[in-house]
Amino acid sequence: MKTDFQLLKTLKSRFYMQSIQTKMKLLIFSGVLIFSVTHLYGENSDEIFKKNCSSCHTIGGGRLVGSDLKGITSKRTEEWLLKWTKSSQTLIKSGDAEAKRISDEFGGLIMPDQLLSDNDIKSIFAYIASKGDNPSSASVTSAVSNTSDNATESDIQKGKFIFEGIQRLSNHGPACISCHNINYKGVLEGGLLAKDLTDVFSRMGGDAGLRGILGAPPFPAMTESYKYHPITDEEIGYIIAFLNKVDKDKENQKVSSFNPLLYGGGGGVVGLLIIYWLLWFGRKKYTVKKEIFNRQLESI
Amino acid sequence: MDIRSQVSMVFHLDKCIGCHTCSIACKNIWTDRKGAEYMWWNNVETKPGTGYPTKWEDQEIYKGGWEKNGDSVSLKGAGKFKGLKNIFHNPHLPVLDDYYEPWTYKYQDLFTAPEGDDQPTARPISLVTGEHIDVKAGPNWDDDMGGSPDYARQDVNLEKLTPAEQEAMFQLERMTFHYLPRICNHCLNPACVAACPSGAIYKRGEDGVVLINQERCRAWRMCVTACPYKKSYYNWNTGKSEKCVLCYPRLESGQAPACFHSCVGRIRYLGVMLYDADKIEKVAASSDDQLVDNHLDIYLDPFDPAVVEQAKLNGIADSTIEAAQKSPVYKFVKVWKLALPLHPEFRTLPNLFYVPALLPTMATVQDGIYDSTSKSLWNGVDKNRLPMKYLASLFSAGNTDKIVDVMKRLMAVRLHRRGVTTGDISKEEISSAMDEVNINADMADAIFRLTSLATFDERFVIPPAHREESIEMLENTADVKGNTGFGFKERPVRGL
């Protein structure tokens, strides 16, 4: 009996031990699994959001350049969000009424196409969803106070130099003027490759918006240009200070449509043609036998 | 005085028959080459006519020659400002159509054409492009076309005449023409030399022949524009300009230039003239009415001992001075005053003089009857078929008195000789004609002799070139003394 009991006991304890080991293994496995998943959702999505979205969007922080995304996943289907994120313009053009309405609401401001994989986009929205379901109550543009309003003259001047490329960006990124134009006295006409930045300060959400854009440019060409040459925070401050000034002064900076190079060049060409014509006027242009040849041809 | 010698020429237009033998002789020797086909260093024109190149006399078209500019002269077509204004382009050049497109015929087609119903023809092909062309003009397309609307009526010299005078020249039975053979004038004040930016053109010191250095020529073609006689031609093949060389290789060996030598009518005379080079600028800048007289005054009397002495001091050889004393040109131009320069108003002081043609008197048609009778054998010069104004435009810068004087002289000689040979003219008439122009019987006979009976050596008095001396200027001939001969093929040795 005793033997049986002992045997049973042994068996029981073995079984128990075994089950504890199994449970431990399961626990560790699931712990690792959970940790890795939370890491995926937590750290990585945060980073992608910050890099790609945060320059224009907040989650619960109110409307910036684009809308506040808190609770967006409960408002829209995932399919719609995927399409919108990949190419909002294509969606608008396809005749989607909701997309059109949003575009109108934001004054036709275009959301840049995001060159992200479906998984990344999904993970971003999962990340947004994790922040809460209820749409934010702070749905109007937050009255963010712009520190650049108080910028010193020297900051503005530094920003101007950086914009014009007179002062080189410390990480060797291209100067703003190579692609952008602004109407500001004393600044040469800039490039026409990208948008005019005269009113960018108010258009793109002031300090916060510009800081987001310049810190992590969302536009494909700009992304490529500054990928390996990021603009430092200090420089961003100067540039914003300058752009703020430009925006404020834009009414006084009406650049006349008179283009001295175009009209001067055109006038010069006309003048030269007149001179050539005057020189040409007294020249021997035809053979002196022209009359003879013509008369002979007529007589045939 | 800076006395120099100049080989000068006289063409007696009364004797020219317009046969173009001179042109062909020149062409065969000098310009029968690729790029030179259109060049006629010597050509014969019909006057009235447009000449070659067409309207060459109209300097408002071609901008040749000099313009009076205060006490001096300046080129009409070239200069620093004019060059700069045209960015060194030369806009007044004659084009190929102003000359003519030279052509030949595809003679081979006559032999190689396949058998057909028609005879094979040799089509004209351009000597410039090698392509078939429709021939539109030639170098003497106005030949003998004295009354033609295309050529005679376009004569630049007619501008000096009133419309009525022009009409008179083109009435039937009144029309006339004569020939005008032309070569380079080897001017005393050559515009081509002055215009050349490369310094390629020069006037030879010993005889005044104007030549283009083919190695220095850089194809500016300023000489083509500058020469008012259009006697500098551009060779499109070699990229150099070329002009009449007065057959200097022949001159240097004592032969007359080819056109002179071959002249059928014996109209050409060649001889040395001595002139004062110091006066060139002043003479070229004379007023129009003084131009011919001053031009002829620049030539000096080779018999004047002072002139001879100065000439010798200037290095002119005795033989050249002797040639100047025998020069037929000196006689025609200076002694007999029969020859005048062609278009002296171009102010280049040309050295080719023309004895104008004493053309027949005008006939009239009255009541359908052609009337050419006159009271005497020859009418007065005022009844000349060609208006004096026309001849004055050609030979005396518009000074008709000079032409009338020459005509009266020619007429006096003719009357005198008529008196000698037939005696059917009254002595009074002859002597009054001769006295009017100060010609005595001896002079008239001399003129007659040199005009009609002159021998080869009388017509061409060519000074020795003294090449045996001139080579000493270039090489030290003593260095090669003893080296004469061709050497030996086998050295001679003594003995057998």
Whether the CB-CB separation of B364 and B373 falls below 8 Å is answered with: no
Mind listing the pLDDT tens digit for each residue in A25-62?
666 666 555 555 444 554 577 777 777 777 778 787 77
Q: Which member of A283, A287, A296 has the closest CB to residue B97?
A: A287
**What is the per-residue pLDDT for A38?**
47
Contact B98 A288 (CB under 8 A): yes
Q: Which member of B55, B91, B136 has the closest CB to residue A288?
A: B55
Contact A289 B91 (CB under 8 A): no
Mind listing the pLDDT tens digit for each residue in A13-33?
665 656 666 666 666 666 555
Q: Is the pLDDT score of B311 beyond 50?
A: yes
**What is the per-residue pLDDT for B89?**
84
Contact B98 A287 (CB under 8 A): yes
Question: Is B431 part of a structural domain of the chain?
Answer: no
Contact B136 A279 (CB under 8 A): no
Question: Is B466 part of a structural domain of the chain?
Answer: no
- SS3 assignment, position B182: strand
When pLDDT is cut at 50, 70 and 90, the band that residue A213 belongs to is confident
Count of helix runs (H) and strand runs (E) in chain A: 14, 0
Which has more pLDDT, A255 or B212?
Answer: B212
In chain A, the residue whose alpha carbon lies closest to the alpha carbon of B59 is A284
**The domain that contains A32 carries what CATH number?**
1.10.760.10
Distance from CA of B127 to the nearest CA of A (A): 19
* β-sheet bridge partners, residue B300: B274
Question: Is A178 part of a structural domain of the chain?
Answer: yes
Domain that holds residue B261: 9-100+137-284
Residues in A touching B91 (Cβ below 8 Å): 283-284
Distance from CA of B86 to the nearest CA of A (A): 8
**B48: preceding bond cis by omega (within 30 degrees):** yes
- Judged by a CB distance cut-off of 8 A, whether residue A289 touches chain B is yes
**In a mutagenesis test of the A interface, which of B58, B133, B136 is the best target, namely the one with the most A β-carbons within 10 Å?**
B136
Distance from CA of A232 to the nearest CA of B (A): 57
Domain that holds residue A107: 11-130
Contact A295 B150 (CB under 8 A): yes
Burial class (CB in 10 A: 0-12, 13-18, 19+), A185: exposed
Burial class (CB in 10 A: 0-12, 13-18, 19+), A200: buried
Contact B136 A283 (CB under 8 A): no
Question: Is B88 part of a structural domain of the chain?
Answer: yes
Instruction: Tell me the residues of B at the A interface, defined by beta carbons under 8 Å apart.
Output: 50, 53-55, 58, 61-62, 85-86, 91-95, 97-98, 136-137, 149-151, 154
A124 lies in the same domain as A36: yes
Question: Is A285 part of a structural domain of the chain?
Answer: no
Report if pTM > 0.90. no
A112 lies in the same domain as A32: yes
When pLDDT is cut at 50, 70 and 90, the band that residue B374 belongs to is low
Mean residue pLDDT across chain B = 91
Instruction: Classify the C-alpha dihedral A278-A282-A287-A289 as positive or negative.
Output: positive
The encoded tokens of residue A61 equal 């922080």
Mind listing the pLDDT tens digit for each residue in B448-491?
999 999 999 999 999 998 887 878 888 888 887 777 677 777 88
Percentage of chain B exceeding pLDDT 70: 95
**For chains A and B, what is the number of CB pairs under 8 angstroms?**
40
When pLDDT is cut at 50, 70 and 90, the band that residue B215 belongs to is very high
**How does strand B3-12 pair with strand B352-355?**
parallel
Domain count, chain B: 1
When pLDDT is cut at 50, 70 and 90, the band that residue A145 belongs to is low
**What is the per-residue pLDDT for B139?**
92
3 state SS for B299-317: EECCCCHHHHHHHHHCCCC
Question: Is B248 part of a structural domain of the chain?
Answer: yes
Contact B98 A283 (CB under 8 A): no
Whether the CB-CB separation of A64 and A210 falls below 8 Å is answered with: no
ipTM of this predicted structure: 0.76
**What is the per-residue pLDDT for B364?**
63
A246 lies in the same domain as A162: yes
**What is the per-residue pLDDT for A160?**
92
Question: Is B254 part of a structural domain of the chain?
Answer: yes
Question: Is B108 part of a structural domain of the chain?
Answer: no
Q: Which of B171, B91, B101 is nearest to B141 (CA)?
A: B101
Mind listing the pLDDT tens digit for each residue in B237-269?
999 999 999 999 999 999 999 999 999 999 999
Distance from CA of B112 to the nearest CA of A (A): 31
* Mean pLDDT confidence for B93-101: 94
Whether the CB-CB separation of B195 and B77 falls below 8 Å is answered with: yes
Instruction: Classify the C-alpha dihedral B367-B373-B379-B381 as positive or negative.
Output: positive
Question: Is A4 part of a structural domain of the chain?
Answer: no
* DSSP structural state of residue B450: I
**What is the per-residue pLDDT for A279?**
78
**The domain that contains B181 carries what CATH number?**
3.30.70.20
Question: Is B165 part of a structural domain of the chain?
Answer: yes
Question: Is A165 part of a structural domain of the chain?
Answer: yes
Domain count, chain A: 2
**What is the per-residue pLDDT for B34?**
94
Residues in B touching A277 (Cβ below 8 Å): none
Mind listing the pLDDT tens digit for each residue in A79-132?
888 888 887 777 888 888 888 888 777 766 667 777 778 888 888 888 888 877
- Judged by a CB distance cut-off of 8 A, whether residue A16 touches chain B is no
Which has more pLDDT, A187 or A52?
Answer: A187
A99 lies in the same domain as A189: no
**What is the per-residue pLDDT for B192?**
96
Distance from CA of A274 to the nearest CA of B (A): 14
**In a mutagenesis test of the B interface, which of A275, A278, A285, A287 is the best target, namely the one with the most B β-carbons within 10 Å?**
A287
Question: Is B352 part of a structural domain of the chain?
Answer: no
Distance from CA of A289 to the nearest CA of B (A): 6
Question: Is A38 part of a structural domain of the chain?
Answer: yes
Distance from CA of B372 to the nearest CA of A (A): 34
